[in-house]
Amino acid sequence: MTVGQWLPTALAAHAPVLLVAVPLILSTPAAILRTGRAGWAIALSGALLALLCAVELFLATRADGAVISYALGGWPPPFGIEFRVDGLNAALLLLLTGAAVLALIFARPSVENEINADKRSLFYSAFLVSLSGLAGVAITGDAFNLFVFLEISSIPTYALIAMGANRDRRALTSAFNYLVMGAIGATFFVIGVGFLYMATGTLNMADLARLLVDMDGDRVVRMGFAFILVGLGLKAALFPLHLWLPGAYAYAPSFVTVFLATTATKVAFYVIIRFSFDVFAIDSGFVVNALTYVVTPLAIAGMIVASAQALFQTDVRRLLAYSSVAQAGYMMLGLGMGSQAGVSAGVLHLINHALMKGVLFMALGAFAISYGVRRIENCKGLGMMMPMTASAFTLGALSLIGVPFTVGFISKFYLIQAALAQGWIFAVAAILISSVLAVFYCYRILVNLWVTPIPEGRRDLAQPTPYLILVPLVGLALANLVFGVHAAPLVDIAETAAAAAINAGTGS
């Protein structure tokens, strides 16, 4: 496979390991320097270097069926740990590192507003460890190594959420709830991996896929899949395993919410695809039954119930957190269809949802810095006071609803097409019902932004939105519009990712 399309050949050859190692290594100087701005600069440098590696891997896997295998320590798989990149996780790595860079640009004014000066360098250090763990989850080809990276990404995330206690003490409770639920999910996952190792004697996922082809009726294998699905469903906030998410999103520092909303559940969703279509064959009876009769009903329930719960929220970030549970249902619905069109639509919604929630939570961060806005009723008149930020938020909300010419419409359109191809009229109805509910909960915010008069005395409290927030905010808002009109690039990425998952599972 050709390397050096983006990076120098010597660096490109080691791009898979550099993508994980660079943020992890830089987390130490970020903590030692003890100054927030130095920590921010180091974190941004690490994210940028990871992004360059992700671009290299993305370009290298654009050819049909292209796969990069990197053997750590020179030990060939399945005996050694393998990093493996194809069209599926190359797209996720690009999204993950791109989101990290944009979130870090947003982070400097946001973190200075919300985190004590003596904790900022540690804050950025913890973020780099979390980024390294998420990248490792996305790139590893070893099932137990995946569990290790899940924990590497999760543990610093609990600390990052808890640092929101400076603004709201409920962040501590939310971090603890996330820790407990995350530990349960990780335990289920590692037990499932243990069952697979018991049945096959290997942990390499490509080797597992080869050996499991002839073990469709093995009860240990089926039990392993069930444990893995539950553990990953919790990490992906699949209804009703989502209880950690509303508090984590609502009370974490704004930067943490932006990053989690655009990446964390997406990485877990990717791992579910990897195990369902690659490690286990999709034509296995128990996999099809699990997707059809477990994942699909829960996805539909999440789409409707979480959207209904959002209607009754008074905290804007909590409202959008429940919306994220509903949007996770859209992704899971695509997976539950078990078809290439369904997976492609699910991956497309994964990308588009990152664009939507990125702009929405960044705008809320700007509102909080300028006016301390947290509740819907506090949004009154902000459209006149902060027109650019409010306009970006409005674009994100319209995309969340699925208004034509936004990315939200594109992914819902492809989901409906995939559902109709399956003959799933009930799934189409669920998508439409959830979208109508989104109209109502977004309407509550938008009316306060643009229609309700500015409260007395608010003009005197005005603070300009920092440019480091406006730049990524406007960029993401425009992306919601541009890719809603010209959707071909994102559709192509999603279709390539789905083809990589399906072809891996069928061995073609």
Per-residue pLDDT tens over the stretch 310-337: 999 888 888 999 998 999 999 999 888 8
Predicted local distance difference test score (pLDDT) of residue 507: 46
Predicted local distance difference test score (pLDDT) of residue 5: 62
Q: Is the pLDDT of residue 3 over 50?
A: no
| Residue 393's pLDDT band (cuts 50, 70, 90) | very high
State the average pLDDT over residues 433-438.
92
Predicted local distance difference test score (pLDDT) of residue 495: 86
Predicted local distance difference test score (pLDDT) of residue 2: 44
| Residue 438's pLDDT band (cuts 50, 70, 90) | very high
Could you identify the residue written with the tokens 């070893």? 142
Question: What does the alpha-carbon distance between residue 290 and residue 390 come to, in Å, rounded to a whole number?
Answer: 42
Q: What are the boundaries of each domain within the chain?
A: 292-508
> pLDDT of 59-92, one tens digit each?
888 766 688 888 887 787 777 888 888 888 888 8
What are the CB-based long-range contacts (under 8 Å, 24+) for 486-489?
Answer: 487/407, 487/410
Angle at 350 between CA 346 and CA 352, to 5 degrees: 115
Among the listed ranges 354-363, 448-457, 459-468, 470-479, which one has the minimum average pLDDT value?
Answer: 459-468
Predicted local distance difference test score (pLDDT) of residue 65: 67
Q: Is the pLDDT of residue 305 over 90?
A: yes
Alpha-carbon dihedral sign for residues 267, 268, 273, 275: positive
The pLDDT mean for the chain works out to: 86
Q: Is the pLDDT of residue 162 over 50?
A: yes
Helix (H) or strand (E) holding 25: helix 15-32
Question: What does the alpha-carbon distance between residue 439 and residue 432 come to, in Å, rounded to a whole number?
Answer: 11
Among the listed ranges 96-100, 113-117, 171-175, which one has the minimum average pLDDT value?
Answer: 113-117
- Would you give the distance in Å from CA 430 to the centre of its chain? 23
State the average pLDDT over residues 425-443.
92
Predicted local distance difference test score (pLDDT) of residue 6: 64
Tokens for 486?
Answer: 């010209």
Tokens for 403?
Answer: 């208004």
Question: What does the alpha-carbon distance between residue 94 and residue 82 come to, in Å, rounded to a whole number?
Answer: 20
489 or 64, higher pLDDT: 489
Q: Is the pLDDT of residue 129 over 90?
A: yes
Predicted local distance difference test score (pLDDT) of residue 461: 62
Helices (H), 140-169: 143-162
The candidate with the shortest Cα–Cα distance to 463, out of 107, 115, 113, is: 113
State the average pLDDT over residues 248-260.
87
Question: What does the alpha-carbon distance between residue 408 and residue 459 come to, in Å, rounded to a whole number?
Answer: 34
> pLDDT of 188-202, one tens digit each?
999 999 999 888 888
63 or 379, higher pLDDT: 379
Question: What does the alpha-carbon distance between residue 351 and residue 492 come to, in Å, rounded to a whole number?
Answer: 12
Tokens for 427?
Answer: 């799934």
Question: What does the alpha-carbon distance between residue 419 and residue 432 come to, in Å, rounded to a whole number?
Answer: 12
The candidate with the shortest Cα–Cα distance to 325, out of 410, 441, 418, 409, is: 441
Helix (H) or strand (E) holding 306: helix 296-310
Give residues with Cβ within 8 angstroms of 253, minimum separation 6: 110, 111, 114, 115, 123, 160, 161, 163, 164, 167
Question: What does the alpha-carbon distance between residue 111 and residue 126 come to, in Å, rounded to a whole number?
Answer: 13
Q: Do residues 339 and 421 touch, judged by C-beta distance below 8 A?
A: yes
Going by the DSSP 8-state scheme, the letter that residue 63 receives in this structure is S
Predicted local distance difference test score (pLDDT) of residue 457: 62
Predicted local distance difference test score (pLDDT) of residue 508: 45
Q: Do residues 16 and 81 touch, judged by C-beta distance below 8 A?
A: no
> pLDDT of 269-297, one tens digit each?
899 988 888 888 766 677 888 888 888 99
Question: What does the alpha-carbon distance between residue 171 and residue 158 come to, in Å, rounded to a whole number?
Answer: 10
* CA R_g for the chain: 22
3 state DSSP class of 311:
coil
Question: What does the alpha-carbon distance between residue 135 and residue 18 come to, in Å, rounded to a whole number?
Answer: 10
Predicted local distance difference test score (pLDDT) of residue 460: 60
Helices H, strands E: what count in the chain? Answer: 21, 2
The candidate with the shortest Cα–Cα distance to 442, out of 476, 408, 474, 485, is: 408
Predicted local distance difference test score (pLDDT) of residue 462: 62
Q: Is the pLDDT of residue 367 over 60?
A: yes
> pLDDT of 206-229, one tens digit each?
888 888 877 767 788 888 889 999
Q: Is the pLDDT of residue 506 over 70?
A: no
Q: Is the pLDDT of residue 378 over 70?
A: yes
The pTM of the full predicted model, rounded to 2 decimals, is 0.89
Could you identify the residue written with the tokens 């109805």? 429
Question: What does the alpha-carbon distance between residue 183 and residue 277 come to, in Å, rounded to a whole number?
Answer: 25
State the average pLDDT over residues 332-344.
87
Predicted local distance difference test score (pLDDT) of residue 372: 73
Q: Do residues 135 and 23 touch, judged by C-beta distance below 8 A?
A: yes
Question: What does the alpha-carbon distance between residue 334 and residue 502 come to, in Å, rounded to a whole number?
Answer: 13
Beta bridge partners of 70: 83
